Amino acid sequence: MFLNKIHHIAIIVSNYEISRDFYVNKLEFPILRENYRPERQDWKLDLKCGESGIELEIFGMKNPPSRPTHPEACGLRHLAFHVTDIEKVVEKLKEKGIECEPIRIDTFTQKKMTFFKDPDDLPIELHE
């Protein structure tokens, strides 16, 4: 295969400050870079996703168009993150005001999983 790995995942958010707080303070992604781009009148926030080397890019734009999440539509369906102890992570998120769906078993992998949503209703999966 000529593609080595995912370099980054980019998300456009409707409210930069709320999403920055969610991803940095609640999900605890470390900031790599944060820049205002005057030519585009938006913010670009690069976050470190664990030890994978993959970055999460958050773009804070003024009035981005909504993307449907229900019913499901073409495009990115959800983000999924591996965790070691799903119960511990769910409890930590609950303490930070983030409610997860009930933990269930993935019928194909037989691993525990759950979902929660970011401030723009983007589904985020935790997978053990």
For the chain, what percent of residues have pLDDT higher than 70? 98
Question: Is residue 92 scored above 90 in pLDDT?
Answer: yes
Structure tokens at 53: 């080397």
Q: What's the sign of the alpha-carbon dihedral 77, 79, 83, 86?
A: negative
What is the distance between the alpha carbons of residues 121 and 118, in angstroms, rounded to a whole number? 5
32 φ, ψ (degrees, to nearest 5): -95, -45
Q: Provide the greatest CA pair distance for the chain.
A: 48
How much is the pLDDT for 75?
80
Fold classified for 1-65: 2,3-Dihydroxybiphenyl 1,2-Dioxygenase; domain 1 (3.10.180)
Question: Is residue 106 scored above 90 in pLDDT?
Answer: yes
pTM, two decimal places: 0.90
Question: Is residue 73 scored above 80 in pLDDT?
Answer: no
What is the distance between the alpha carbons of residues 28 and 3, in angstroms, rounded to a whole number? 29
Q: Which CATH number fits domain 76-127: 3.10.180.10, 3.30.930.10, 2.102.10.10, 2.60.120.1310?
A: 3.10.180.10
Which residues of the chain are in CATH 3.10.180.10 domains?
A: 1-65, 76-127
